[in-house]
Structure 1
Amino acid sequence: MENRWIRAALPALLIHGCIGTVYAWSVFKQAIASQIGASVANVEWAFSLAILFLGLSAALLGHFVEKDIKKSALLATFFFTVGMIGTGISIQQKSLIGIYLFYGVVMGIGLGIGYLTPVKNLMLWFKENKGLGTGLAVAGFGLAKMIFSPIMVSLQLTFGLWQMFVILGFVFAILMLMGWVLIQKPAGWVEVPLKQAFKPWAFFKNRNFIGIWLMFYLNITAGLAIISQEKDILMELKSSSGSLVFSLAAMTTIISIDAFFNAAGRIGFATWSDNLKDRNTIYQIIFILSLVVSLLSFTLPNYNNFLPIVIVIAFFSINAGYGGGFSALPPLLADRFGMRAISKIHGLALTAWAAAGLTGNQLASLIVHGLKLPYQDVFLAIAVLYLLALAISRYVVTPRRMLLD
């Protein structure tokens, strides 16, 4: 069974295919708010906390993942599934604090460890095509939403909301344990410790790392502003008669297809970057595409017959670019800093995800709920973010390398 598809690709899909369900948040956030008697704005903080602790745990535990992916896969399984089950029990008890603790903190830690675990392993197995390897590693993260969104809706209708979390907690435990059994580094690979101590703060003084961190942060913030609000945006689309443009079933279908583009972007953009002279170029392509569709979504007036089509296209494009930004990141970091401590460096870069978790969906919530502006204005805000990210990618990030000993 010394096969890269069995020892690297399949376990990556099993692990990321479970933890990626965090992106199905918009499917059940309103139901959670209604069931526990809290506002949607307050419930939103559970998602923000989950992304925050994802980034923090990835940054703090990168050395642990680097050392032993078997143990890290097992630890990720424990934290993520306990978080899911605990969230269900907290909903049953109508405890918002419990939801913050289990969905935000406990599950968030499982997300961070689980996200890092398969990435370096795939770059080792796919050393000639690192982009393809990392695309496979994180494709499951995008596919999870497409696969599990309709399952979540069905479980809610059949068994109830809190029961859905408990059932999926046990299902995910089985799938992630399968990934733990299968995952393995290539035969003969030995982790050679660095001669000098790893100094995280040194990277935050490096121009390339700062630029990569900033453009990654902006792409995630913009993406989360849309991804966390997709269902709400679709419900705002009305015909000239005032009726909904899309039925609830159509909305669920669109959100599921979004996840397909998220996964396709993770594989497609990262694989494309394998054939570019500088992988940084792929980010500029992503930012230009996302900027154009965001501006189109903002400029078309409401009740315009083409607006629903343009917004759905924008969803697909932004999801693809959002996913591609994640998968292209580890190979870009490896190109700039080498493979010796890539899990540690990748973990540091994922603190941008932690920061974006506090700003992405909160930015959209501020615009719509705080300032009482229409959802279309969210597209203008993220267009500005994409323009800034493009400038950073073009003028701050350079081809210069800083290899560790």
Structure 2
Amino acid sequence: MENKWVRAALPALLIHGSIGTVYAWSVFKQAVADYIGASVPNVEWAFSIAILFLGLSAAALGHFVEQDIKKSALLSTLFFVVGMIGTGISIQQKSLIGIYIFYGVIMGIGLGIGYLTPVKNLMLWFKDNKGLGTGLAVAGFGLAKMIFSPIMMRLQTSVGLWQMFIVLAIVFAVMMLIGSVLIRKPLDWHEKPLKNKFNPVQLVKNTNFIGIWLMFYLNITAGLAIISQEKDILAGLTNTNNVAVFSVGAIATVVSIDAFFNAAGRIGFATLSDRLLDRNTVYRVIFAISLVMSLLAYFLPNTSGLMPIVLVAAFFLINAGYGGGFSALPPLLADRFGMHAISKIHGIALTAWAAAGLSGNQLASFIVHGLNMDYQIVFVAIAVLYAIAFLVSMVVVKPTQTLIN
């Protein structure tokens, strides 16, 4: 069992396939709000806090992941499972503060550690195809939403809302523990101490890192603005007779297929980066496609017969680009800064995810609930973000290297 599929790919899918269910948030956020008697915008903060602590824990504990990925996998399991169980109990007790603590803080820490754990390992095992390796590592995030969204909907009706979290906590504990047992770095790789003390301040002063951080942040913010609202956007689309275009079943299907595109984008765009002279080019492709689809979704009238097709296509392609941004990041960082401190560097870069967790879905929620504007205005906002990200990828991020060894 000493091969890259057993020691790297399968553990990555088991770990990320569990923690990636954080992106099924839109499936139950309304039910949580109704059950505990809170508003959706207030409940929405639980997701934002979870992404915030994902980024913060990844930045703070990158060195721990570098040292021992088995221990980091186990620690991730502990935090994530305790967070799930605590969330279920908090919902049962109708405690919004409890949901913030368990779903946001505790589960968020498990997300950050678990997200980093398989990434470097896969780049080591897939050293000639780092993009493919990281694509496999984070594809589980997209697959998790696709697989578990319908399961969550069924569990809500069969066992209950808060009970769903307890059941899933048991399932994820088993999956992540198996991943923890299997994961291991290649026998010929030995972690070496850095010749010079790693200084994060020097990293954040590096123009390339700043540019990569910015375009990563903008891509996540735009993606989260849509992903967190897609169920409501689809439900709000009506025809000329004011009849809903998408049924509840159709919406569930679109959300699940969205997750497939998210996973496919993670593998596809990262693999594409292996074929390019400069991996930064793949981000330009992502931003260009997402920008065009956002503008189409805004300018096409709601009454147009093409609107449902364009809207669904926009969701699919934006989800693909959103996922691709995650998987293309580690090999791009490895190209610019080397492999020896990649988990630390990657962890610091993930603070962009933390920042986007506060701005992404909150941006969409503010536009729709705070300003009482139409959902289509969200597409204008993210089109601007994609345009800025494209400019950053062209002007700020350069092909120069700053190897850290």
Cα displacement (A) at 1:195: 1.6
Q: Which residue of 2 aligns with 1:183?
A: 183
Cα displacement (A) at 1:304: 1.5
Q: Which residue of 2 aligns with 1:284?
A: 284
Once the two structures are superposed, residues 300-346 of structure 1 have per-residue CA deviations (whole angstroms, 9 ceiling, x without a partner) of: 11222111110100000000000000000000000000001000000
Once the two structures are superposed, residues 163-210 of structure 1 have per-residue CA deviations (whole angstroms, 9 ceiling, x without a partner) of: 000100011000000000000000121100102211111111000000
Q: Which residue of 2 aligns with 1:72?
A: 72
Q: Which residue of 2 aligns with 1:55?
A: 55
Q: Report SS of the residue matched to 1:127.
A: coil
Q: Distance in 1 between matches of 2:134 and 2:96?
A: 36
Q: Which residue of 2 aligns with 1:256?
A: 256
Q: Report the AA paired with residue 281 of structure 1.
A: T
Q: Report the AA paired with residue 155 of structure 2.
A: L
Once the two structures are superposed, residues 201-248 of structure 1 have per-residue CA deviations (whole angstroms, 9 ceiling, x without a partner) of: 111100000000000000000000000001000011001111110100
Q: Which residue of 1 aligns with 2:322?
A: 322
Once the two structures are superposed, residues 76-97 of structure 1 have per-residue CA deviations (whole angstroms, 9 ceiling, x without a partner) of: 0000010001000000000000
Q: Report SS of the residue matched to 1:402.
A: coil
Q: Distance in 1 between matches of 2:309 and 2:76?
A: 39
Q: Which residue of 1 aligns with 2:331?
A: 331
Q: Report the AA paired with residue 190 of structure 1.
A: H
Q: Which residue of 1 aligns with 2:404?
A: 404
Q: Which residue of 2 aligns with 1:240?
A: 240
Q: Report SS of the residue matched to 1:195.
A: coil
Map residues 104-253 of structure 1 onto 2, 5 A cutoff: 104-253=104-253
Q: Distance in 1 between matches of 2:308 and 2:49?
A: 31
Stretch of structure 1 that moved more, 58-67 or 197-206: 197-206
CA RMSD of aligned residues (A): 0.5
Q: Which residue of 2 aligns with 1:23?
A: 23
Q: Which residue of 1 aligns with 2:376?
A: 376
Q: Report the AA paired with residue 153 of structure 1.
A: M
Q: Report the AA paired with residue 33 of structure 1.
A: A
Cα displacement (A) at 1:145: 0.2
Once the two structures are superposed, residues 56-91 of structure 1 have per-residue CA deviations (whole angstroms, 9 ceiling, x without a partner) of: 000000000000000000000000010001000000
Q: Distance in 2 between matches of 1:7 and 1:302?
A: 49
Alignment pair present for 1:83 and 2:80:
no
Map residues 300-311 of structure 1 onto 2, 5 A cutoff: 300-311=300-311
Q: Report SS of the residue matched to 2:175.
A: helix
Q: Report SS of the residue matched to 1:49.
A: helix
Once the two structures are superposed, residues 330-371 of structure 1 have per-residue CA deviations (whole angstroms, 9 ceiling, x without a partner) of: 000000000010000000000000000000000000110011
Q: Which residue of 2 aligns with 1:99?
A: 99
Stretch of structure 1 that moved more, 238-247 or 352-361: 238-247
Once the two structures are superposed, residues 87-109 of structure 1 have per-residue CA deviations (whole angstroms, 9 ceiling, x without a partner) of: 00000000000000000000000
Q: Report the AA paired with residue 45 of structure 1.
A: W
Once the two structures are superposed, residues 274-293 of structure 1 have per-residue CA deviations (whole angstroms, 9 ceiling, x without a partner) of: 00000000000000000000
Cα displacement (A) at 1:24: 0.2
Would you identify which runs of 4 or more consecutive aligned residues in structure 1 move more than 2 Å? none
Q: Report the AA paired with residue 268 of structure 1.
A: G
Map residues 1-12 of structure 1 onto 2, 5 A cutoff: 1-12=1-12
Once the two structures are superposed, residues 260-280 of structure 1 have per-residue CA deviations (whole angstroms, 9 ceiling, x without a partner) of: 000000000000000000000
Q: Distance in 2 between matches of 1:116 and 1:8?
A: 13
Q: Report how many aligned residue pairs link the two structures.
A: 405
Q: Distance in 1 between matches of 2:169 and 2:101?
A: 16
Q: Which residue of 2 aligns with 1:312?
A: 312
User: 5+ unaligned residues in a row in structure 2: which ranges?
Assistant: none
Q: Report the AA paired with residue 300 of structure 1.
A: L
TM-score, normalized by length of structure 1?
A: 1.00
Q: Distance in 1 between matches of 2:176 and 2:52?
A: 22
Q: Report the AA paired with residue 165 of structure 1.
A: F
Q: Distance in 1 between matches of 2:97 and 2:193?
A: 41
TM-score, normalized by length of structure 2?
A: 1.00
Q: Report SS of the residue matched to 2:187.
A: coil
Q: Distance in 2 between matches of 1:125 and 1:66?
A: 15
Provide the identity percentage: 76
Q: Report SS of the residue matched to 1:332.
A: helix
Q: Report the AA paired with residue 127 of structure 1.
A: K
Q: Distance in 1 between matches of 2:312 and 2:92?
A: 35
Q: Which residue of 1 aligns with 2:363?
A: 363
Q: Distance in 2 between matches of 1:71 and 1:200?
A: 24
